[in-house]
Structure formats: structure tokens, C-alpha cells
């Protein structure tokens, strides 16, 4: 029924989603069970670097929403990164197939649906996979992120940081897990006790705990991931024939190691933050990063780790990067991070347990007031492929809450055959760049060689007898010259100490303790 302005509730809600620039079409407004194909719900492209959340229980349509958003971003020339946790997004490389359900959804959403294939890059997180394996070195990964993977407490994390610092100062590259294992074994050996004592604040017992955690990581397949050639996040930001490349990351053998998977995604974000120049507000983002299974990142995370995530999400906006966290419950995301997210696409929630009901109540409080829906009832009544949506308008204000029927993806909504994924991965230029493991000299080889080298036996040397003592006549004390006076100055001494410290610092680390571009990737490219 129309109001005093002659608009129906659906039209009034849709008016809040009107845009002048480019936008992603999410779907159309539903009110009282009726969908209005003309009442469009959109996300302005210029607001995507304000980040977002896609949440909902299993089977409510989150994956199809991600697929539809990724396809439209690719059409707009925006590269996309997606973690393909369940392995069912590979169909984006094939055009979709029309059927009765698609036809119904197309009619409801007023979509000019056309089967479309997208340029897709298939990567895997190490392991034995049909996709191109990618890796990171431990030196680049840094002690803070590695501590999350190893499930270390605050004391152990500090100790690992000191061990990294010692290796940095000794110019011992930590490229793979055997390098770090060799360093820890050296520091806990009789030969390395002096080095361990010199680090300060490091006990052999704590170093032993870290070593055992590292061995467990290797047994779980982590040694397949850490190493070279190291992945360059710039390879995520490519276009093919004007379309943004959709990069799909499958887990391969790391499916049982969620800490490594989720922390690797955070490493990618940290690398992008360190590498990219300031961009300010753009008409469309440089890259949109979908962070699937986001709850894994925050589970048992330290306060310091969460603070760094919050800082990265807050600052990476100015680099032109949009981040969407994907999870089952909004309460999986810390409030400090949730407050940074401008777009909310909330699929149906279940309220079967007291914990579910508490999470539902908290979720309801995060939405703007609306006279069109009972939010709590709506969140438990949504159908598959429907969501409660609110985003930021082009002027940065929250849009009205909209019960939205989501558009159908235009690509194939099923997994590609493994043989086709393998063929596509091997035909990619990235396969030649990252497909073969490189094992160059690093900490393991240098420490092993040092242990294997026998101590040189000094040859006896002739020592002449001391000359007869003849006292020298006293000499007049000379006045110190200019350079002697200068180098004796406390100011100059302080400057030289500072310069020596800077020259001796082999590794400069960024917000997450990752090695920064100026001391790592730039050197490798030069």
C-alpha cells in the first residue's frame, strides 16, 4: 500500500539505495512476503572500501551471494580474492546454466541474466593440489602471525619474536620450517647457550615448547606451505580483457589446519597494506578481498593480535582495498572490527539454543531502526537466497534496512571437474612462477655447515724475545686534532651509535611483524 507520498514501502526503501555512480546489484526488496522487481538494492562501488560482512547459517545462500558479488566486481574490472573453502566456487570459470529456479529468481529480481564465465586463477595453500601452490617464507610471515599458527601464548610469542630478531641480526634467513627448527635447536644446544643467554629473556624451556609446536605444524603439512618462491600479493591485482581476475584459493592439505589458513589470509592483507601506496577515495576499489570462515581468525587470538587486525582493516581502506568478512554469526567478529564494516548482508540465523538466541538478540541491536520489519522475526524467517541488508549510501549514510531477495550468479553454481581445474592452473603464467619449489641456502644450511666445520688448529709461530728495556725520554703532549675532537664529542658518539644500529638492522618489520617491502621484495626484484 502506498503512503502519503504515493510510494509503496518497497519503493521507499529502494529510494535509499539509489546511486549515481557504479554499483553492485544485490537484489530487490521484499515486504510482507511480496517482492518488487523494480525496488533495487545496491552497494555503491565507491563504498566497497568501507568493507562489509556476509553472515548466515549453513545452507542459507552465503556462498551464492559471494559468487554473485564476485562476478559483478569482475565485470566492473575489479580483481577479487576468494577463499574457496568448500571447493564449490570453481564454476565461476564456466557460464551458468538456466533452469526453472534461475528463471524464477531472474523474474523476482528484474535481472537481465546472461550466462557468463569469468577469468579465474586457481591457487592452493601448499599441499598436493590440482591448483598452483603458493608459499610464504617464515622471515616474511613474521613472528606475530606465526605465533597465531602455532597457538602460542603471550610469553611464547615474545620469545619467538626474540628468536626471529636473533636470526635477523645474524643474517640467517628463515625461509622454511627447517630453518627455524635449526635455529631453535642451535640456541638450545650446548654450543648455542651463550647465544641464547645473549638474547635476553629467553628460557630454554620456552624455546623447547616452540620447537615442539613447530614440529607438530610440520607433521600437519605446514612445511609444504612455508618456503620459496614466495607469493607476491601484487599477482592478485590483475585484469584480463577488461575483467578483474577472480583468484580462488583452495585449502588442499591445509583443510585440517584452520589456523594456518586464516592467518595466511591476514598475511596477504598485511602484505597489501605494506606494499600499496595511499589511494584515498576511488570510484571503485583496486581489489576486494573476501575473508571466508572469518571466525577462525579471531578464535583464541591474543588482544594484541586483534588490535593489529582492527588497525589493518581501518587503515587499508585508504589503499583502495575492500574487505568482506564471511562467517555464520556477526558475533564471531570483535566489536572493534565489526564497527569498521559499512555493508551488512545477513542471511537467516538459527535460534535453537540459548547461545543462538543470545547471538540473535545482539545482532538485532546492530541494525538501524525500521518500521517496515520486525528484525528479530525477519532474521529467523528469511528464505534461502534472502538477506537483511543495510549498506552505506554514496554520501556515507546507512541505507534503510531491506529484506532482499538476492540475484542469482551468472556463472556455473557447481564445482568444475578436477581435470579442468588442473588444466586451467597449468596454463596460467603463475604456474611457471610458483609451481616449482626453490630451496636456496638459508639458516639450516649455514648452521649445519658451521657445525660440520672442524675448528682450525693454530700453527705454532716464532715469538721473538722482548727487547732490552730502555726508557724513552718524556714527550710533550700534542694538542688533539680536529677529527679527534669531533669523534670525542658526546653528540657525535650518540649519532654514530644510532647509525650503527640502523645499519645493523637487517630486517624492518611492519604492523604484523612482517618484513616490509623495502627490505625484502624490493631487493628480490632488483
| DSSP for 156-223, written as a single string | HHHHHHHHHHHHHHTT----SHHHHHHHHHHHTSTTTHHHHHHHSS--HHHHHHHHHHHHHHHHTTGG
Residues 243-259 have a mean pLDDT of 78
Q: What is the DSSP string of 393-451?
A: -TTSPBPPPEEEEEPPPSB-SSPPPHHHHHHHHHTSHHHHHHSS-B--S-HHHHHHHHH
Whether residue 92 is predicted with pLDDT greater than 70 in this model: the reply is: yes
With cut-offs at 50, 70 and 90, classify the pLDDT of residue 191.
confident
Q: Which residues pair with 387 in a beta bridge?
A: 404
| Lowest-pLDDT range of 38-42, 157-161, 250-254, 350-354 | 250-254
Q: How far apart are CA 92 and CA 416, in angstroms?
A: 9
Closest Cα partner for 266 from 307, 320, 217?
A: 307
- Kind and range of the H or E run holding 43: strand 34-44
Confidence (pLDDT) at 524:
45
Confidence (pLDDT) at 234:
92
State CA 360 to chain mean position distance. 28
Whether residue 498 is predicted with pLDDT greater than 50 in this model: the reply is: no
Greatest mean pLDDT among 8-12, 81-85, 501-505: 8-12
Q: How far apart are CA 201 and CA 328, in angstroms?
A: 41
Confidence (pLDDT) at 483:
41
Whether residue 291 is predicted with pLDDT greater than 90 in this model: the reply is: no
Higher pLDDT pick, 312 / 77: 77
Q: How many CB atoms lie within 10 A of CB 445?
A: 16
Residues 220-245 have a mean pLDDT of 91
Q: How far apart are CA 30 and CA 372, in angstroms?
A: 10
| Lowest-pLDDT range of 25-34, 103-112, 287-296 | 287-296
Indicate the DSSP class of residue 84.
-
Indicate the DSSP class of residue 68.
H
With cut-offs at 50, 70 and 90, classify the pLDDT of residue 493.
very low
Apex 142 CA angle, 141 and 146, nearest 5: 80
Name the packing angle between helices 177-187 and 154-169 (round to 10°).
Answer: 90
Confidence (pLDDT) at 491:
47
> Distance between terminal CA atoms of the chain?
67
Confidence (pLDDT) at 522:
45
Confidence (pLDDT) at 221:
76
Whether residue 481 is predicted with pLDDT greater than 80 in this model: the reply is: no
Q: Phi, psi at residue 131, to the nearest 5°?
A: -90, 170
* Average of per-residue pLDDT values in the chain: 84
Q: How far apart are CA 308 and CA 322, in angstroms?
A: 17
Q: How far apart are CA 466 and CA 461, in angstroms?
A: 15
Confidence (pLDDT) at 492:
44
- Are 90 and 82 in contact by the 8 Å Cβ rule? The answer is no
Q: Is the pTM of this model over 0.85?
A: no
Residues 81-87 have a mean pLDDT of 83
Cell of 61: 545462500
Q: Hey, is 335 helix, strand or coil?
A: helix
Q: How far apart are CA 525 and CA 518, in angstroms?
A: 11
With cut-offs at 50, 70 and 90, classify the pLDDT of residue 452.
low
The predicted-structure confidence for 347-405, as pLDDT tens digits, reads as follows: 999 888 888 899 899 899 888 889 999 999 999 999 999 999 999 999 999 999 999 99
Confidence (pLDDT) at 194:
82
Residue 194 contacts by C-beta under 8 Å, 6 or more apart in sequence?
none
Confidence (pLDDT) at 201:
64
The predicted-structure confidence for 142-163, as pLDDT tens digits, reads as follows: 898 899 889 898 889 989 999 9
With cut-offs at 50, 70 and 90, classify the pLDDT of residue 83.
confident
Q: How far apart are CA 460 and CA 352, in angstroms?
A: 85
* Residue for grid cell 649445519: 448
Q: Phi, psi at residue 520, to the nearest 5°?
A: -130, -75
Whether residue 505 is predicted with pLDDT greater than 70 in this model: the reply is: no
Confidence (pLDDT) at 32:
93
- Are 336 and 313 in contact by the 8 Å Cβ rule? The answer is no
Report the C-alpha dihedral over residues 325, 329, 333, 334, rounded to 10 degrees: 160
Helices (H) and strands (E) in the chain, counts: 21, 14
Name the segment(s) of the chain with CATH classification 3.40.50.300. Answer: 9-135+235-416
CATH of domain 9-135+235-416: 3.40.50.300
Q: How far apart are CA 168 and CA 324, in angstroms?
A: 35
Residues 113-132 have a mean pLDDT of 88
Closest Cα partner for 27 from 102, 111, 117?
A: 111
Confidence (pLDDT) at 486:
46
State CA 154 to chain mean position distance. 21
Confidence (pLDDT) at 423:
94
Quote the percentage of the chain above a pLDDT of 90: 51
- Kind and range of the H or E run holding 25: strand 23-31
Residues 274-300 have a mean pLDDT of 87
Quote the percentage of the chain above a pLDDT of 70: 83
Confidence (pLDDT) at 293:
79
* Residue for grid cell 597449468: 426
The dihedral region occupied by 499, where left means phi > 0, alpha psi between -120 and 50, and beta the remainder, is alpha
Indicate the DSSP class of residue 242.
T
Higher pLDDT pick, 163 / 199: 163
- Are 127 and 248 in contact by the 8 Å Cβ rule? The answer is no
Amino acid at each position: 500500500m502506498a503512503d502519503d507520498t504515493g510510494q509503496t514501502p518497497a519503493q521507499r526503501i529502494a529510494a535509499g539505495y539509489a546511486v549515481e555512480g557504479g554499483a553492485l546489484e544485490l537484489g530487490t526488496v521484499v515486504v510482507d512476503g511480496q517482492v518488487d522487481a523494480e525496488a533495487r538494492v545496491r552497494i555503491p562501488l565507491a563504498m566497497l572500501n568501507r568493507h562489509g560482512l556476509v553472515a548466515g547459517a549453513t545452507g542459507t545462500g552465503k556462498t551464492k551471494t559471494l559468487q554473485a558479488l564476485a562476478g559483478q566486481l569482475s565485470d566492473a574490472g575489479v580483481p577479487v580474492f576468494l577463499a574457496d573453502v568448500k571447493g564449490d566456487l570453481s564454476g565461476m570459470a564456466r557460464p551458468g546454466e538456466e533452469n526453472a529456479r534461475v528463471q524464477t529468481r531472474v523474474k523476482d529480481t528484474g535481472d537481465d541474466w546472461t550466462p557468463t564465465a569469468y577469468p579465474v586463477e586457481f591457487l592452493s595453500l601448499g599441499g598436493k593440489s590440482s591448483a598452483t601452490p603458493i608459499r610464504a617464507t617464515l622471515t616474511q610471515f613474521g613472528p606475530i602471525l606465526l605465533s597465531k599458527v602455532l597457538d602460542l601464548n603471550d610469553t611464547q610469542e615474545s620469545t619467538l619474536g626474540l628468536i626471529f630478531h636473533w636470526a635477523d641480526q645474524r643474517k640467517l634467513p628463515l625461509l622454511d620450517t627447517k630453518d627455524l627448527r635449526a635455529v631453535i635447536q642451535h640456541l638450545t644446544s650446548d654450543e648455542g647457550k651463550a647465544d641464547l643467554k645473549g638474547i635476553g629473556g629467553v628460557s630454554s624451556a620456552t624455546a623447547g615448547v616452540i620447537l615442539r609446536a613447530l614440529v607438530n605444524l610440520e607433521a600437519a603439512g605446514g612445511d609444504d606451505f612455508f618456503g620459496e618462491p614466495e607469493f607476491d600479493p601484487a599477482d592478485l591485482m590483475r585484469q584480463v580483457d577488461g575483467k578483474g581476475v577472480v583468484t580462488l584459493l583452495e585449502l588442499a592439505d591445509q583443510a585440517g589446519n584452520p589456523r594456518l589458513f586464516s592467518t595466511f589470509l591476514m598475511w596477504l592483507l598485511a602484505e597489501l597494506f605494506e606494499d600499496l601506496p595511499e589511494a584515498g577515495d576511488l570510484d571503485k576499489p583496486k581489489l576486494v578481498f573476501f575473508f571466508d570462515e572469518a571466525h577462525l581468525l579471531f578464535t583464541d587470538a591474543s588482544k594484541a593480535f586483534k588490535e593489529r587486525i582492527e588497525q589493518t582493516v581501518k587503515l587499508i581502506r585508504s589503499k583502495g582495498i575492500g574487505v568482506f568478512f564471511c562467517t555464520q554469526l556477526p558475533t564471531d567478529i570483535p566489536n572493534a572490527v565489526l564497527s569498521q564494516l559499512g555493508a551488512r548482508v545477513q542471511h537467516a540465523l538459527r535460534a535453537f539454543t540459548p547461545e543462538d538466541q543470545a547471538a540473535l538478540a545482539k545482532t538485532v541491536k546492530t541494525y538501524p531502526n525500521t518500521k517496515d520489519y520486525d528484525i528479530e522475526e525477519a532474521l529467523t524467517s528469511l528464505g534461502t537466497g534472502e538477506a537483511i541488508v543495510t549498506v552505506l549510501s554514496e554520501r556515507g549514510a546507512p541505507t534503510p534496512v531491506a529484506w532482499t531477495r538476492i540475484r542469482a550468479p551468472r556463472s556455473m553454481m557447481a564445482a568444475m571437474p578436477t581435470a579442468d581445474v588442473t588444466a586451467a592452473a597449468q596454463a596460467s603464467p603463475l604456474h611457471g612462477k610458483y609451481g616449482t619449489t626453490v630451496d636456496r641456502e638459508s639458516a639450516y644450511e649455514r648452521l649445519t655447515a658451521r657445525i660440520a666445520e672442524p675448528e682450525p688448529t693454530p700453527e705454532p709461530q716464532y715469538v721473538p724475545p722482548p727487547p732490552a728495556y730502555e726508557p724513552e725520554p718524556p714527550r710533550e703532549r700534542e694538542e688533539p686534532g680536529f677529527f679527534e675532537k669531533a669523534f670525542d664529542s658526546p653528540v657525535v658518539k650518540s649519532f654514530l651509535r644510532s647509525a650503527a644500529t640502523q645499519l645493523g638492522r637487517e630486517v624492518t618489520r611492519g604492523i604484523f611483524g612482517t618484513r616490509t617491502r623495502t627490505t625484502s621484495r624490493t631487493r628480490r626484484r632488483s
